[in-house]
């Protein structure tokens, strides 16, 4: 019995080592680089530099603005879509639902190329509307990731709760606001997590739409291009901080399946 437990457990050793080497160690190195300078001396100037430079602070605010707007637009489109899909009695419902998930499997760069061609046709010069285009691009890219977790939550809702509310005299509207909406919060939170954070960091969408504006991710990109590992590490660390804060704030609110983004993808 003892030897048997050893074999089963020891199967996990390679993966545990892999995680330590390629997940934990890079983060430690990141912290080290963020707080040292080119000569290897300890410094906090990367940190203070970020919070005193109006340019980087501006980028942080602009990032937040884009991420919040994108998340709100995605939510406004995704919630009704998910709700209608979950409550519908379409023939071949699974096919209809699949239509909303399918774009996830088409390479994002090709989808954004397509979007860029359409926007160019409509707007002429994309450089005139950087904020609008960033929000459109990201909404187009991330919308399925918002629809799926919300749909999964609503479709699993216990229908009898709503019937009970109606039996007790609630009309459609108050049944929705007092039962369905509060119970779909876990899906909404999962959806927000899948849209908000990428919207702060996924700068390639902006790049492809000829955007000259910067979000947090673009800062890492430009430090990387300049071989400035120390500055880039500090930005990465600040982003990690934001991600941690976000994850802790929503902990326990997420759907069991939704939090494992894997469940949301397949």
Partner 1 sequence: MIKQLSRIFILFVLVILYAPILILTVYSFTNATNIGAIRGFSLHNYVTLFTTPELRDMIIGTVVLALVAALLATILGTMGAIGAFYSKRQVSSMIDTLNQVPVVNADVVTGFSICILLVVVLGISKDTFIPLVIGHVTLCAPFVYLSVIPKLKQMDASIYEAALDLGATPQTALRKIVIPQIASGIVSGFSLAVTLSLDDYFIATYTKPATFDTISTYVVNATKGAQTTIKTALWALSAVIFVIVVLFVVVSNLKAENEEAAD
Site for partner 1 in 89-108 (CB under 8 A): 94-96, 98-100, 102-108
Q: DSSP characters for 26-70? A: HHHHHHHHHTB-TTS-B-SHHHHHHHH-HHHHHHHHHHHHHHHHH
Q: Per-residue x/- marks for partner 1, 131-150, CB under 8 A?
A: ---------x--xx------
Q: What are the φ and ψ backbone dihedral angles of 5, each rounded to 5 degrees?
A: -60, -35
Q: What are the φ and ψ backbone dihedral angles of 116, each rounded to 5 degrees?
A: -60, -40
Minimum distance, C-beta of residue 62 to partner 1, in the bound complex (Å): 16
Q: Judged by CB under 8 A, which stretch of 126-134, 161-169, 181-189, 214-222 contacts partner 1?
A: 214-222
Residue 239 binds partner 1 (CB under 8 A): yes
Residue 198 binds partner 1 (CB under 8 A): yes
Residue 130 binds partner 1 (CB under 8 A): no
Task: Return the SS3 of 253.
Answer: coil
Q: Judged by CB under 8 A, which stretch of 2-10, 56-64, 162-170, 175-183 contacts partner 1?
A: 2-10
The answer to whether 139 touches 207, Cβ cutoff 8 Å, is: no
Question: Which residue, 119 or 165, has its beta carbon nearer to partner 1?
Answer: 119
Q: Per-residue x/- marks for partner 1, 7-36, CB under 8 A?
A: xxxxxxxxxx-xxx-xxxxxx-xx--x---
The answer to whether 142 touches 70, Cβ cutoff 8 Å, is: yes
Residue 248 binds partner 1 (CB under 8 A): no
User: How would you class 100 by CB atoms within 10 Å of its CB: exposed for 0-12, middle for 13-18, buried for 19 or more?
Assistant: middle
Minimum distance, C-beta of residue 197 to partner 1, in the bound complex (Å): 6
Residue 233 binds partner 1 (CB under 8 A): yes
What span, in angstroms and rounded, lies between the C-alpha atoms of 146 and 234?
30
């Amino acid at each position: 019995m003892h030897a048997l437990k050893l074999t089963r457990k020891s199967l996990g050793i390679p993966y545990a080592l892999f995680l330590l080497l390629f997940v934990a160690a890079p983060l430690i190195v990141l912290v080290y680089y963020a707080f040292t300078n080119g000569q290897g001396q300890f410094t906090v100037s990367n940190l203070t530099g970020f919070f005193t430079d109006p340019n980087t602070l501006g980028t942080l605010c602009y990032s937040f603005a884009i991420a919040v707007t994108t998340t709100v637009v995605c939510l406004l489109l995704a919630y009704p879509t998910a709700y209608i899909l979950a409550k519908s009695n379409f023939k071949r419902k699974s096919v209809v639902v699949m239509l909303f998930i399918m774009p996830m499997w088409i390479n994002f760069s090709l989808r954004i190329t397509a979007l860029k061609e359409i926007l160019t046709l409509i707007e002429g010069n994309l450089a005139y509307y950087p904020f609008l285009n960033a929000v459109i691009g990201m909404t187009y890219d991330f919308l399925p990731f918002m629809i799926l977790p919300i749909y999964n939550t609503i479709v699993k809702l216990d229908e009898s709760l709503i019937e009970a509310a109606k039996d007790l005299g609630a009309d459609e509207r108050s049944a929705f606001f007092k039962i369905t909406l509060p119970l779909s919060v876990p899906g909404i939170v999962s959806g927000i997590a899948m849209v908000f954070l990428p919207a702060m960091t996924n700068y390639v969408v902006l790049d492809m739409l000829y955007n000259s504006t910067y979000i947090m991710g673009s800062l890492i990109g430009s430090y990387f291009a300049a071989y400035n590992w120390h500055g880039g590490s500090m930005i990465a660390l600040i982003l990690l901080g934001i991600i941690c804060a976000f994850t802790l704030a929503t902990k326990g609110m997420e759907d069991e399946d939704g939090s494992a983004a894997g469940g949301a993808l397949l």
